[in-house]
């Protein structure tokens, strides 16, 4: 959780984003349930690794379908969001190459599509987005 920031006017920020990015040409990440389970476990490890080094852009929930990734992010108001999303995509790709698919050519070339989906999430719908991410396989 990000420590809520206040300023002299006593304003508080609580920004949550739902981010989704897909693989290039909708390339599949896994083909069976055992591969899907391994990817889910490794993505939870990735979330812990990311949160231990980033305090202004925290992953609250992650998930993936066969050809895309979802993240529920809590962001500090001073963060440059497009920059951080680009960083997240780069770090995730390196993590996938090193820890999940080390002996395959799956991750060669451009792995992710250039664009991404990002929307803000209100406090009321945070649980709904978490449930959507969990059930998105």
- Average pLDDT along the chain, 137 residues, taken 10 residues at a time: 56 84 85 85 92 90 90 90 91 86 68 88 81 81
* pLDDT value at residue 7: 55
* pLDDT value at residue 124: 65
- In 3D, which of 6, 1, 15 has the Cα closest to residue 79? 15
Portion of the chain with pLDDT greater than 90, in percent: 29
Which domains, from first to last, does the chain contain? 15-134 (3.30.70.1290)
What torsion, rounded to 10 degrees, do the Cα atoms 117, 71, 39, 56 define? 130
Mean pLDDT of the residues in the chain:
83
d(C-alpha 137, C-alpha 66), whole Å: 7
* pLDDT value at residue 59: 94
Whole-Å CA distances, 82 to 13, 42, 50, 88, 92? 18, 25, 17, 10, 15
* pLDDT value at residue 4: 54
Residues whose CB is less than 8 angstroms from the CB of residue 2 and which lie 6 or more positions away in sequence, other chains included: 55, 56, 58, 74, 75, 76
* pLDDT value at residue 97: 83
């Amino acid at each position: 959780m990000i420590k809520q920031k206040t300023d002299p006017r006593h304003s508080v920020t609580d920004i949550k984003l739902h981010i989704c990015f897909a693989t290039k040409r909708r390339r599949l990440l896994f083909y069976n349930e055992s591969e899907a389970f391994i990817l889910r476990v490794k993505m939870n490890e990735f979330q812990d690794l990311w949160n231990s080094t980033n305090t202004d852009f925290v992953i609250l929930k992650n998930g993936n379908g066969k050809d895309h990734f979802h993240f529920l992010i809590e962001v500090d108001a001073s963060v440059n969001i497009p920059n951080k999303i680009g960083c997240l995509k780069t770090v995730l790709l390196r993590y996938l190459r090193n820890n999940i698919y080390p002996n395959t050519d799956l991750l060669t070339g451009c792995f992710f599509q250039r664009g991404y989906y990002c929307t803000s999430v209100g406090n009321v719908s945070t649980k709904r987005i978490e449930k959507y991410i969990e059930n998105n396989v």
